[in-house]
Homo-oligomer: A and B are copies of this chain.
C-alpha cells in the first residue's frame, strides 16, 4: 500500500508519521521524502507491507499533521482512465495493448475521439469509443458533450493521447490535476503548433517530448516526464514527426506508469516524483 503526504514542513514530521505507522504494527518497505526548503513544503511517499484499512490511517495521520496537509492513502484499487484522442494512433495503440494485457497499471474505461479514425482499433480491443465531433459547434457546447460522456464513468484520470483540441479553463478546472497530456516537444522549446516543423527549421540535433498535467496555461502545466531522441541533418520534417511519435509514445507510457503507481505529487507548477 502507498501513502502520499504533502504539507507545510516542521521539525519531527517524519518521526510523527512513522510513529503512526509503527503503532499499527506495520512495516515501512520504502520511503522517500523531500523538503522543498524554498517553499517550506514537505513531501513523502511511503510503501508499507500488506493491505490496510485506509480510513483509520488517514484519520490518525490527519491528527498529527499540520493543517491543510494532503494525504492520500491508496487503497490499492486500480485507477480508472478515459483516453481522449484525435487521429494519431501511436499513443493510443500502446495504451490499448498494455491495457489488454493488464500491464497498464490502470483500466481504460473508454476512449473519446473528436474524429472517428480510431474507433476501429478500440472496437478490436472491446473498448467503448465515443465519437464526439467538434465541428460546427461552439467550444462550450462541444466540451459539455465531452463532459457528458466522461460523467457516465467514475474516472480517475483523463489521458490526452494526441488529443488536438485546446481545452477551456472551465473544463480543465473541472478535472484539476487529473488531466495528463503528451506534448510533442521538449517543453519549453517549440511551444505551440507545428513543433517538428519548427525543430526542422532550427536544425536541432535532438527532439523531445513532454508529458505534463494540463493547466489553463497551455503547455505550461507541471511536467511529469521528458525524454529526447537524436535526429540529424538527414531527417526531413516528416522523419522528425516519425521519430517524435516514438518518443511521445515512450514518454507518455512512462508518465502514466509514474502516476498510476502513485509516485507523483504536484505542488504549484511543479511535480515531485519519487521513482
Contacts and interface: CB of A to CB of B under 8 A. Distances in A.
A187 B125 CA distance: 35
A216 interface: no
A25 B225 CA distance: 36
A52 interface: no
Given A15-B18, A190-B188, A9 B27 contact: yes
Nearest to A120: B100
A269 B234 CA distance: 15
A11 B27 contact: yes
A272 interface: yes
Contacts of A270: 203, 233
Contact of A228 (B21, B206, B250): B206
Interface of A: 9-19, 21-22, 25-37, 44, 89-90, 93-94, 96-98, 100-101, 103, 121, 124-125, 186-190, 202-206, 208, 222-228, 232-234, 242, 246, 250, 253, 269-273, 275
